[in-house]
A and B are shown apart, each in its own frame.
Chain A
Amino acid sequence: MDARDSRRNQAMTEPNPDPQTNPQIGSETAGPTISVAAAESGRGRRPRAATGTVELQGLSAYYGSNHAVRGVDLSFDAEEVTAIIGPSGCGKSTMVRCINRMHEEVEGARAEGKVLLDGLDLYDPRIDIVAVRRAVGMVFQKPNPFPTMSVFDNVVSGLRLTGAARGEMDDRGREALVGAGLWDEVKDRLKSPGVGLSGGQQQRLCIARALAVEPEVLLMDEPCSALDPVATLKIEELIGELKERVTIVIVTHNMQQAARVADTTVFMLGGALVEVGPTDKLFTTPDDERTEQYVTGKFG
Chain B
Amino acid sequence: MATTMRTQYREELERLEASALDGLNLVNTALERTLEAIEHTDVELAQIVVADDDRIDGRYLEVHQSLITLLATQSPVATDLRLISALLHVLKNVERMGDQCVNICKLLPLTGNEPPADDRMVELILAMGKQTRTLIAQAKRAFAERDVEQARDLVKQDDLVDDLNRQCFRLALEIGEDIDRREWSMTMLLAARAIERIADNAVDIGEQVAFVVTGLFREFEDASHPTP
Contacts and interface: CB of A to CB of B under 8 A. Distances in A.
29 contacts: A255-B75, A256-B75, A259-B77, A283-B78, A284-B78, A284-B82, A284-B215, A285-B82, A285-B215, A291-B78, A292-B78, A292-B79, A295-B78, A296-B76, A296-B77, A296-B78, A296-B79, A296-B80, A297-B5, A297-B6, A297-B9, A298-B1, A298-B4, A298-B5, A298-B6, A299-B2, A299-B4, A299-B5, A300-B5
B89 to A, nearest CB: 16
B224 interface: no
Interface of B: 1-6, 9-10, 75-82, 214-215
- Chain A CB within 10 A, most for which of B10, B77, B80, B81: B77
Contacts of A293: 1
A283 B77 contact: yes
Nearest to B3: A299
A256 B77 CA distance: 9
A284 B1 contact: no
Contact of B77 (A255, A290, A299, A300): A255
Interface residues of A, number: 17
Nearest to B2: A299
Given A284-B215, A285-B82, A295 B77 contact: yes
Nearest to B13: A296
Nearest to B6: A297
B81 to A, nearest CB: 6
Nearest to A285: B215
A286 interface: yes
A295 B74 CA distance: 12
Contacts of A295: 77-78
Interface string A277-292: 0000001111000111
Interface in A208-238: none
Given A292-B78, A292-B79, 10 more contacts: A255-B77, A284-B78, A284-B81, A285-B78, A285-B82, A285-B214, A296-B77, A296-B79, A298-B1, A299-B2
Contacts of B214: 285
- A-B pairs with lowest CB-CB distance, top 6: A285-B215, A297-B6, A283-B77, A299-B1, A295-B77, A297-B5
A230 to B, nearest CB: 18
